[in-house]
Amino acid sequence: MSPATTREYDVPDSQTAQQSDQARARAAAYGLIALGFQYPDQDTMTTLADPRRWAHWPNVLGESDWQAESLLQCVQDAVGECAAGAHDALLAWQQRYDDLFGHAVRGACPAFEMEYGRNEIIRQASDLADLAGFYRAFGMEIASHAIGRPDHISAECEFMSALSLKEAYAYEQGETDQAEICLDAQRTFLRDHLARWLPAFVHHLEQANASRLFGAVARFAVAFVKAECNRFDIHAGPATLELRTPDPVLDRTISCGSAGCGVGGAGEQFVQLGGANIPER
């Protein structure tokens, strides 16, 4: 998946139209974060640089007071620089991805939830099962060709994007009860998963002096997720959340999906969530 685009649609009233518009803008924001932390290939660059991907929804987010528009402009500027550099820029972008995230789970900036404050094997297994349960409950799963775990930053943001789209679709169909189910799921998923560790993930990126593009996406991500936490009246996790104790055996057996892993090549995807029940965008 990738950042959502807006379309013309009929809604029952102006309040529902606003709710739907906001949900679609939030879906696009989560989609942008998901795409920004995938392993970069030419398709990624083309998608990020497509001006249609930036239509309308930044203005909707910008109606809030958390500097969404300025943060998104920084992301757009960084994307433009990468796109302008073509092949050389893409190679540099891929190299920087490998430098930051490594060829396995334990890079300088781990992109997996279970790397943050989860040392007990039983607890990690339970949390991974909880993630998979969330995905299945809404008709989604990690695509069969993907090798990533369900706790990758892109997979979790992609799931939140899909939930937001389902919420928007429910409003458009006049199904407010279904919209509430989607909202409750978003609140719980943020509290128990994404918001728990994303601030620490971004902190590690800042400590590693992330390149302009990754840094810009990270700054937008943490600001957006904190705004989401305020919206749902929940607390984001601390930026100082400790990493788990390394496991040499486990760390040698889990691939990150980058070209350096030699599995799937540069086009390896973490966030391809397949399944029915996803509204058409």
Task: Summarize pLDDT for 57-85 with one digit per residue, the tens.
Answer: 999 998 887 889 999 999 999 998 887 77
Q: What pLDDT is recorded for position 186?
A: 98
Give the number of other Cβ atoms within 10 Å of residue 241's Cβ.
Answer: 18
- What's the pLDDT band for 42 if we cut at 50, 70, 90? confident
Give the CATH fold of the 14-274 domain: TorD-like (1.10.3480)
Q: Hey, is 148 helix, strand or coil? A: coil
Domain assignments of the chain as residue spans, ordered by start: 14-274
The C-alpha angle 157, 211, 259, rounded to 5 degrees, equals 70
pLDDT at residue 1 is higher than 80 = no
The C-alpha angle 267, 196, 241, rounded to 5 degrees, equals 95
Please give the share of the chain, as a percent, with pLDDT higher than 70.
78
> Rounded distance, CA 53 to CA 58, Å?
10
